[in-house]
Amino acid sequence: MSNAAAVSIQNLTKQFGGILAVDHISMEVKPGEIHGVIGPNGAGKTTLFNLITGIYTPTEGQVLVDGERITGLSPHTIANAGIARTFQNIRLFKELSCFENVVTACQNEVKYNFLQGCLRTPKYYREERRIQKKAQAILESIDLWAVHDQKSKNLPYGQQRKLEIARALAMDPKLLLLDEPAAGMNEDETNQLAGFIRQIRDQYQVTIILIEHHMDLIMEICDAIDVFNFGKKLASGTAEAIQNNPEVIEAYLGVDD
Amino acid sequence: MTYWIGVITVTGIWMIAILGISVLTGFTGLFSMGHAGFIAIGSYVCALVSKTFAAPMWIGIPCGMAGAILVGVLIGIPTLKLKGDYFVIATLGIGEIVKLLIENVPQITGGARGLTDIPRSTTFPLVLIICVLCVVFVRFFLTSKHGRNGIAVREDEVAARAIGINVARQKLIGMAISCGLCGLSGGLLAHYMGYLYPTMFTMAKSNELILTVILGGKGSLTGTILASLILVPLPEFLRTEAAQEWRMVLYGVLVVFVIIFRPSGFMGDRELSIKGIFRFFKNRFGKKAEGGVGK
Amino acid sequence: MFIQQLITGLSIGSVYALMAVGYSLIYSLLNFTNFAHSVCVMVGAYVSYFFLLLVADNILAAALCSLVVAGVLSAIIEKVAYQPLLDKNVNRIYLLIAGLGIQIVGENLVIVLLDGRFHAYPTTFSSIPIKLFGISIGLIDLIILGVSSLALVLVELLIRKTKTGLAIRGAASDLNTTALMGVPVRRLITIVFLLAGLLAGLAGSFTGLKYTAYPSIGSLTTKAFISAVFGGLGSIPGAVIGAFFLGVSETMIAAYVSSSLRDMFSFVLLVVVLVIRPTGLMGKATEEKA
């Protein structure tokens, strides 16, 4: 079940007032790749995610996933096409349990209609049982089953980040956008995260684009990296090439956090 | 005895409307200031159909419901897409317009003098049955995909969109259900009272209904039901006028306190169930562990 | 006749503007409809009534008194009810509900403690007409229009020319960034509530003078909401323009068409604006930040 996607971003531009938050960016992501996007704060990384997922409409340019143009579609259509994301400032359904968070995210594959849902037809029970099993499997595979009936807002920070990824996985994504998954994690958790992201990629056959500030993490797991600065693409290549690129060192790596 | 059956019947009728508002506010996260207007639409359309065509109420009531849903959806389509309080203010406007319309076309609605001689065909068993059906319907809705999507929208619209929920459509579903139930409640009310006045459907009434939902607990169906059963017949227990007036003060104070200290309301988002009560007692007397009403 | 109606309309519009500016200020900062605003208007109306009844027959002094009391009340409401909610960073809808609760408490408390009747201001002042170029114009309309306009100009100056005003404008465009830049946002919010309360108190005094004081007088703030929506939620110039437009149109409709259609017009206008151009005259659609 290889559902990983290839992404092609072409000349993507977003202007806010007089500021070019994303300035004619083009990049390619190969299927099954873990693709890192790095750059200082305000470099336009999260804006890039918002453009891909349709929260913002680009001023110029387009995004193709598996050769199909997704630019201009509404956010929920893009999500239902298999493009899932997490958020920099965790956006879980706080009052719902972990299990409910994941079950809710299965909504696109649930095939009964409004009337069948309210009348409790056999199809309703069949579909509900199926997604509940699926949600359980996902939570088990990432070690969250033990807390499945806890309210998501009561989880420790690291688990909330994991749950957000679990919720994204419930959508059967072909492309997964992770926005600073290691933010707020301690060193231990960050180290675990590297293995976790690889495991997801292999197990769920998904292409991953990853925004991160933890250089160690990026360098360790990314197959390819793009470096942003002031909305422009500064460099791209493998971890090694990036680390030795003088421009990158000057703009980003040379500066202490 | 007949008196108390009357009180219970009226409580049931209003509870149907409150259930509708609960779907909108408690489970979709939208706040309406004008749902008395939708009850008014339901009741007047139903009463007029019944009176003009001498139709039985099982024809009139669906007409009233359809009218309420139609108006609700028409106002919802442009406003629900917007961020901010546009929807709240729009519902406030609709509530007032409906009342003013009724007052200003006396040829049809009887104006401020009211509409009288509506056949009094709503009975206690009928209300009871419809109430139970409505509770079951709402419960089934909430535990289906569409209900869950609504709750996701209430929790976080951006995240809901990111998992593929069409937020605007989901809000319209919430609006349609709430308007439909309010229309139903209005139709039953018209045929129970036998008369209708525009002043039965003021903004104060809208506020009272939505406060009942909030006090019961946004996101708790049993909380909503309990709150309706306690708060709607309350005026009947408080017979003196002074007590009646203090009642609304108390409502207001309670709401402010609940919002500040217990924002999730009286029941929170927990549901009361037989199993939950059983577990509560078992925990209390068995292990002395922290127990409670649970899912 | 027409000029007379126009002045009346403008004076009503100016009172709507006082309420709408306060509403818009708070909305632009915190993105919620402050229903407690109506309590400030109502208290303003009653304070002026009692001032005229018990202290002196001087409407300007009464208005000043209303202004101060309502301003303080607004700041207290913000401190007691909204601040704890803002601290918890809850969904904005909770603020709205708390405001609604305060509105209901205020309105019913007046009924319980006082009565539900209409109280005409005990002043001889309201009936004095003056002659201007052969047209007789109500003196109160001129005073209301004059004082309200003055108040609006002062608020505009405060927002445009002072440091606090700059901070308010900054906070209106992005509250969090303003906080990060070291502006004491907490105090700024209180100042804005105080300002809104001052304007509401003045508006309450003037509406009381025109229509008498009664418990649900605060519901006139719905006209301020309509003005603000008409002008574009959160836009202060929009709210003022919307308020004057609404005041004049209402008066003209009452005078030349039918007074029973006056309110109908306002609410239909609201719904038509929401359906056709929901972001209002000056409003702009904003993109949501994720």
Residue A146 CB partners (closer than 8 Å, separation 6+) = none
What pLDDT is stored for residue C287 in this prediction?
A: 47
Cα gap C101→B208, rounded to integer Å: 10
The residue ranking higher by pLDDT, A15 or C180, is A15
Question: What is the per-residue pLDDT across B163-200, written as a single tens digit (0 to 9) for each?
Answer: 999 999 999 999 999 999 999 999 999 999 999 999 99
Q: Using 50, 70 and 90 to split pLDDT, how confident is the model at C284?
A: low
In eight-state DSSP terms, residue A15 is E
To 10 degrees, what angle do helices C262-276 and C221-231 make?
30
Q: What is the ipTM of this complex?
A: 0.90
Inter-chain touch B151–A96, beta carbons under 8 Å = yes
Question: What is the per-residue pLDDT across C45-86, written as a single tens digit (0 to 9) for each?
Answer: 999 999 999 988 888 899 999 999 999 999 999 999 899 888
Query: Does the pLDDT value for residue B118 go beyond 60?
Result: yes
Q: List chain A residues with CB under 8 Å of C176.
A: none
Inter-chain touch C278–B248, beta carbons under 8 Å = no
Nearest-CB residue to A117 (from B145, B156, B166) = B145
Task: Pick the residue from chain C with its C-alpha nearest to B210.
Answer: C97
Task: Determine contact, residues B159/A91, Cβ cutoff 8 Å.
Answer: yes
Question: What is the per-residue pLDDT across C98-126, written as a single tens digit (0 to 9) for each?
Answer: 999 999 999 989 988 988 889 888 877 66
Beta strand A34-38 with A207-211: parallel, antiparallel or unpaired? parallel
Helix (H) or strand (E) run with residue C29 in it: helix C2-30
Greatest alpha-carbon span in chain B: 69
Residue C82 CB partners (closer than 8 Å, separation 6+) = C30, C95, C98, C99, C189, C193
User: Of chain C residues 223-262, which have a CB less than 8 A from chain A?
Assistant: none
Residue A140 CB partners (closer than 8 Å, separation 6+) = none
Inter-chain touch B156–A100, beta carbons under 8 Å = no
Name the token pair of C24: 């818009």
What pLDDT is stored for residue B219 in this prediction?
A: 81
Q: List chain B residues with CB under 8 Å of C102.
A: 252, 256
What pLDDT is stored for residue B274 in this prediction?
A: 66
Inter-chain touch A92–B159, beta carbons under 8 Å = yes
Domain B2-293 fold is ABC transporter involved in vitamin B12 uptake, BtuC (1.10.3470)
Distance to chain A for C271, nearest Cα, Å: 27
Task: Determine contact, residues A210/A6, Cβ cutoff 8 Å.
Answer: no
Q: Using 50, 70 and 90 to split pLDDT, how confident is the model at A146?
A: very high
Chain A interface mutation, best of C91, C284, C286, C289, highest count of A Cβ atoms under 10 Å: C289
Beta strand A224-229 with A34-38: parallel, antiparallel or unpaired? parallel
What are the DSSP calls for B64-98, one per residue?
A: HHHHHHHHHHHHHHHHTTSSSTHHHHHHHHHHHHH
Q: List chain B residues with CB under 8 Å of C27.
A: 84-85
Cα gap A33→A238, rounded to integer Å: 12
Query: Does the pLDDT value for residue C179 go beyond 90?
Result: no
Least confident stretch, A43-47, A196-200, B132-136, B287-291: B287-291
Sequence ranges of the domains in chain B: 2-293
CB of C285 within 8 Å of a chain A CB? The answer is: no
Q: List chain A residues with CB under 8 Å of B165.
A: 76, 107
Q: List chain A residues with CB under 8 Å of B81.
A: none
Inter-chain touch B161–A120, beta carbons under 8 Å = no
Task: Pick the residue from chain C with its C-alpha nearest to B99.
Answer: C264
Query: Does the pLDDT value for residue B291 go beyond 80?
Result: no
To 10 degrees, what angle do helices B203-216 and B221-231 make?
130
Q: B: neighbours with 3+ CB pairs under 8 Å?
A: A, C
Cα gap C102→C104, rounded to integer Å: 5
Exposed, middle or buried by CB within 10 Å (0-12, 13-18, 19+), for A91?
Answer: buried
Inter-chain touch A94–B155, beta carbons under 8 Å = yes
Question: What is the per-residue pLDDT across A94-126, written as a single tens digit (0 to 9) for each?
Answer: 989 999 999 999 999 998 889 888 889 999 999
Distance to chain A for B153, nearest Cα, Å: 9
Exposed, middle or buried by CB within 10 Å (0-12, 13-18, 19+), for A195?
Answer: exposed
Inter-chain touch C270–B211, beta carbons under 8 Å = no
The residue ranking higher by pLDDT, B1 or B2, is B2
Question: What is the per-residue pLDDT across C213-241, written as a single tens digit (0 to 9) for each?
Answer: 998 898 899 999 999 888 888 888 889 99
The residue ranking higher by pLDDT, C124 or C14, is C14
Inter-chain touch A108–B164, beta carbons under 8 Å = yes
Nearest to A216 by CA among A190, A255, A178: A190
Task: Determine contact, residues B6/B63, Cβ cutoff 8 Å.
Answer: no
Torsion, Cα B75 B81 B83 B85, to 10 degrees, reads 10
Distance to chain C for A16, nearest Cα, Å: 10
Inter-chain touch C97–B82, beta carbons under 8 Å = no
Cα gap B153→C93, rounded to integer Å: 13
Question: What is the per-residue pLDDT across A50-84, written as a single tens digit (0 to 9) for each?
Answer: 999 999 999 999 999 998 999 999 999 999 999 99
Strand order in the sheet with A207-211: A83-85, A175-179, A207-211, A34-38, A224-229, A232-237
Q: A: neighbours with 3+ CB pairs under 8 Å?
A: B, C
Inter-chain touch A87–C290, beta carbons under 8 Å = yes
Task: Pick the residue from chain C with its C-alpha nearest to A88.
Answer: C290
The three-state secondary structure class of A72 is: coil
Task: Determine contact, residues C155/C21, Cβ cutoff 8 Å.
Answer: yes
Percentage of residues of chain C with pLDDT beyond 70: 94
Q: What are phi and psi of B97, to 5 degrees?
A: -60, -45
Distance to chain B for C104, nearest Cα, Å: 5
Q: Which residues pair with A232 in a beta bridge?
A: A229
Residue A238 CB partners (closer than 8 Å, separation 6+) = A223, A224, A225
CB of A83 within 8 Å of a chain C CB? The answer is: no
Nearest-CB residue to C229 (from B89, B104, B249) = B89
Question: What is the per-residue pLDDT across B13-47, written as a single tens digit (0 to 9) for each?
Answer: 999 999 999 999 989 989 998 999 999 999 999 99
Inter-chain touch A75–B141, beta carbons under 8 Å = no
Q: How many CB pairs under 8 A join A and C?
A: 10
Helix (H) or strand (E) run with residue A35 in it: strand A34-38
The three-state secondary structure class of C279 is: coil
Q: What is the rounded end-to-end Cα distance, in angstroms, of chain B?
A: 36
Cα gap C42→C219, rounded to integer Å: 9
Task: Determine contact, residues B83/C243, Cβ cutoff 8 Å.
Answer: no
Task: Determine contact, residues B215/B22, Cβ cutoff 8 Å.
Answer: no
